[in-house]
């Protein structure tokens, strides 16, 4: 489950509800100001740490080697954990050009046991190739924007060719127009599912790991109940065809987008 905007005491309760309904993979980031709430929900669940797959992310202001090293430690302290299952460079910020240093800091943090798997987010093929070439280490995951209006077949293939798992952020298009798409509504009727479930199934059948965010219980329950039906190849292609040239939810182009938080 994604946790952007899921914060504070209410956030802890919403994450706990998701855990009780079966969620084990939780995606947070230093930039979301909620690593504390996610860590608290994990502790209150009473489940062992090993039951969870916890992801957090390095903010752009900490890409330099020493800053990145400390930022990883501080994220762990905020969460009350002693390791991450997955840690990602949140954005490449190519104009600042420190992402290779950040990657080296993550490789070393992994060697020290602070992170099990290291990955990136919003990396384009040239950013992937550069860190692989300069360090010899391929990211396990690239977390990128993917939804029916921003299908990203080019990046899905680029990740696949390099042996990298693609995760989809805003997999439901951040609850926007994609959820009103008539063609997907028809599929929902056919399969007796809701539109969100059709979209999440489409991601998984493309080999992509979606991380939907849901604060409402009925959304949380629906989003995890997608493993008892299959879309046809033609239906997957039909959803792929909904992609738009300007389909990003917030216009964030990784080649130029700068997050300074
Ligand atoms: N790496 C990055 O740069 C990056 C960027 C953005 C996001 N992310 C991660 O990706 C996660 C997901 O992205 P997101 O939060 O932007 O958007 P999203 O998951 O695509 O959409 C979330 C919105 O959809 C609603 N929703 C959830 N399930 C639904 C369903 N079954 N039917 C109808 N509406 C439903 C949610 O409502 P309620 O919450 O009210 O239930 C919420 O308003 C984030 O939380 C974050 O962890 C990463």
pLDDT digits (tens, 9 = 90+) for 192-228: 999 999 999 999 999 999 999 999 999 999 999 999 9
| pTM summary value | 0.98
Of the candidates 4, 23, 32, 191, the residue annotated as catalytic is 32
Whose CA is closest to atom 37 on ligand 1? 214
| Helices 195-205/217-224 angle, 10° precision | 40
Q: Is the CB of 170 under 6 A from ligand 1?
A: yes
CA terminus-to-terminus distance, the chain:
22
Burial bucket for residue 166 (CB in 10 Å: 0-12, 13-18, 19+): buried
- Average pLDDT of the chain to the nearest whole number: 97
Q: How far, in Å, is the centroid of ligand 1 from the Cα of 176?
A: 10
Annotated active-site residue 62? The verdict is no
User: DSSP for 98-163?
Assistant: -HHHHHHHHHHHHHTTSEEEEEEES--HHHHHHHHHHHS---SEEEEE-BTTB--HHHHHHHHHTT
pLDDT at 176: 80
pLDDT digits (tens, 9 = 90+) for 29-60: 999 999 999 999 999 999 999 999 999 999 99
Q: How far, in Å, is the centroid of ligand 1 from the Cα of 132?
A: 30
pLDDT digits (tens, 9 = 90+) for 121-155: 999 999 999 999 999 999 999 999 999 999 999 99
Q: How far, in Å, is the centroid of ligand 1 from the Cα of 1?
A: 8
Q: Is the CB of 187 under 6 A from ligand 1?
A: no
pLDDT digits (tens, 9 = 90+) for 166-189: 999 999 999 888 999 999 999 999
Whose CA is closest to atom 14 on ligand 1? 170
Q: Is the CB of 188 under 6 A from ligand 1?
A: no
């Amino acid at each position: 489950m994604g946790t952007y905007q899921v914060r504070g005491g209410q956030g802890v309760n919403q994450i706990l509800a998701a855990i009780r309904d079966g969620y084990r993979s939780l995606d947070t980031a230093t930039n979301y100001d909620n690593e504390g709430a996610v860590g608290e929900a994990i502790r209150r669940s009473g489940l062992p740490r090993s039951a969870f797959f916890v992801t957090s992310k390095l903010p752009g202001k900490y890409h330099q080697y020493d800053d990145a090293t400390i930022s990883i430690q501080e994220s762990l302290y905020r969460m009350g954990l002693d390791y991450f299952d997955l840690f990602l460079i949140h954005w490449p910020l190519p104009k600042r050009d420190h992402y290779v240093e950040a990657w080296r800091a993550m490789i070393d943090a992994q060697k020290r046991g602070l992170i099990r798997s290291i990955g990136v987010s919003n990396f384009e093929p040239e950013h992937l190739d550069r860190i692989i070439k300069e360090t010899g280490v391929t990211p396990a995951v690239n977390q990128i924007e993917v939804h029916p209006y921003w299908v990203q077949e080019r990046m899905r293939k680029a990740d696949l060719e390099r042996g990298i798992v693609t995760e989809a952020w805003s997999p439901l298009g951040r609850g926007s127009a994609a959820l009103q798409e008539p063609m997907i509504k028809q599929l929902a009727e056919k399969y007796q599912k809701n539109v969100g479930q059709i979209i999440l199934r489409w991601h998984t059948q493309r080999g992509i790991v979606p991380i939907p965010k849901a604060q409402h219980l009925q959304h949380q329950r629906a989003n995890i109940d997608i493993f008892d039906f299959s879309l046809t190849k033609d239906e997957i292609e039909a959803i792929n065809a909904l992609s738009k040239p300007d389909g990003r939810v917030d216009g964030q182009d990784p080649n130029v987008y700068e997050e300074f938080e």
